[in-house]
Chains A and B, each alone.
Chain A
Amino acid sequence: MYIVIIGGGRVGFSLAKVLMNAGHEVFVIEREGKKVQALVNELGNTALKADGSEPMALEEAGASRANVVIATTGSDEDNLAICQIAQYRFKVSRTIALVNDPENEALFRQNGVNLTVSSTQAILASIEEGLPARAPVNVMPVQGNREVVGVVVPSDAAVAGRQLGEVKLPEETVIVAVIDRAGGLKAVSEETVLEASDMVIALTVTESAQAVLDTLTSEE
């Protein structure tokens, strides 16, 4: 897929990296020169220094052939404008906006934004196609050396079909949510049964992120 991301801050940058690693063609529009430089250094020549809500900038980035446009700037007015321009001017079939102020969510959805999210995680889930099944999705760093990770349970995983209470997770790890393959939220308890393709969202310490992934994906 061709994905244009507007805003190369923390969210935009890590999204670009994950999506690129998953084999997608990614282009980032960022207003600040320093951030553009950081993107170019790390990801190659795939960033443009411009105001992403300028139709000309979007055109330059090839918005008209983009499958997805993701607006991740820190300002809601810019994210709304970007998605509306992408949707109505460039006929982009899927627009995703980061909503910084939750009160704006309904307005966004009713006016040209296909999907609104308030964390990187949900954006990733919506573009699940093509993501490597076993990659831990590094969702977001949290205070105190912690991070929230998302892991999709593979069909051959030993934990598939087991109850959460039976799964031995590393210390300081809490299952925050389990999302089934249809996008529904499962109630989290000891009795929750994990199934293949469930997305498990866990809060853990950085050192244990890999262990969480291994536990949830290994075949034995």
Chain B
Amino acid sequence: MRVVIMGSGRVGAQIATTLWREGHQVTLMDTEPEAFLLLPREMRQDERTTLLGDGTLDEDLKRADIEEADVFVAVSGRDNRNALAAQKALHHFRVSRVVCRIDDPLRTEMYAKLGLTVVSPTRVSTGLILEAIRA
């Protein structure tokens, strides 16, 4: 698979590393070069895996070869950026599978209705923590 990931935080870096180790072609985007320090050294040495750029901009998405991508994942720390990038990937670049991180549980349903595959870390971790408390 060709996967473009926006946001090299802990979540993005972890997803990128896992998919890269499985042999998928991964392009991880971030606007801050130091964000890529979360990646293992051998992955960073493979120049194709990281791209300094803004995933909400058409131009930078094109540099990441979004047009050839099978999957786009928006997992920066900002909901609105993720939502814009994901909708671009889905509607403008016609990427067949788009996954979007939305932290705010109040917005997840709305974005799901708009056609995005939404994952809410807040909802997931709150559920797990409550489960741990009640165990």
A→B interface (CB under 8 Å):
53-56, 75-78, 80-81, 84-85, 88-89, 101, 103-104, 106-107, 110-112
Closest chain A CB from B72 CB (angstroms): 14
B111 — which chain A residues lie within 8 A by C-beta? 84
Tell which of A56, A77, A106 touches B84, judged by Cβ atoms closer than 8 Å.
A77
> Any chain A CB within 8 A of the CB of B87?
yes
Interface majority SS (helix, strand, loop, mixed), chain A: helix
Report whether A53 and B80 are in contact in the complex, using a CB–CB cutoff of 8 Å: yes
| Contact pattern, B 33-59, Cβ under 8 Å of A = 1, otherwise 0 | 000000000000000000000001110
Q: Complex formed: what's the CA distance from A78 to B106 in Å?
A: 16
21 CB contacts below 8 A, A to B, read: A54-B104, A55-B104, A55-B107, A75-B80, A77-B80, A80-B80, A80-B84, A81-B79, A81-B80, A81-B83, A81-B107, A84-B83, A84-B111, A85-B107, A85-B110, A88-B110, A89-B106, A101-B57, A104-B84, A107-B91, A111-B91
**B113 A88 Cβ-Cβ under 8 A:** yes
Q: CA of A112 to CA of B43 in the docked complex: distance in angstroms?
A: 40
Q: Check: B94 CB closer than 8 A to any chain A CB.
A: no
Q: Contacts A88-B114, A107-B88; is A80 near B106 (CB within 8 Å)?
A: no
What is the distance, in angstroms, from B79's C-beta to the closest C-beta of chain A?
7
State whether the Cβ of B101 lies closer than 8 Å to any Cβ in chain A: no
Q: Does B78 contact A (CB under 8 A)?
A: yes
Measured CA separation A145–B110 after assembly (Å): 45
Chain B binding surface, main DSSP class: helix
Identify the closest chain A residue to B105 (Cβ). A55
Check B114–A112 contact: CB distance below 8 A: yes
Pair A84/B110 contact, Cβ less than 8 Å:
yes
Given the contacts A56-B106, A77-B78, A110 and B84 also touching, CB distance less than 8 Å: no
Contact among A55, A78, A103 with B58 in the assembled complex (CB-CB below 8 Å): A103
In the A-B complex, the 9 residue pairs with the closest CB atoms:
A77-B84, A77-B80, A81-B80, A55-B106, A77-B81, A88-B110, A103-B58, A78-B80, A80-B84
* Residues B110 and A76 in contact, CB atoms below 8 Å apart: no
Taking the closest CB of chain B, its distance from the CB of A42, in whole angstroms, is: 28
**CB closest chain-B residue, reference A81:** B80
A89 to B111, CA, bound (A): 11
Q: Distance (Å) between the CB of A49 and the closest chain B CB?
A: 18
Query: A27 CB to closest chain B CB, in angstroms?
Result: 20
Interface presence of B63 (CB below 8 A)? no
Q: A111 vs B91: C-alpha distance in the bound complex, in angstroms?
A: 9
**Contact residues, B50-99 vs A (CB, 8 A):** 56-58, 78-81, 83-85, 87-88, 91-92
By a CB distance below 8 angstroms, the chain B residues around A75 are 80
CB <8 Å contact, A77 and B56: yes
Q: Which residue of A lies closest to B85 (CB)?
A: A77
Contact indicator A110/B106 (Cβ below 8 Å):
no
Q: Closest residue to A110 on the B side, CB-wise?
A: B91
- CB-CB under 8 A from B81, the residues of chain A are 77
CA distance A104 to B88 in the complex (A): 9
- In the complex formed, the residue of B with least CB distance to A76 is B84
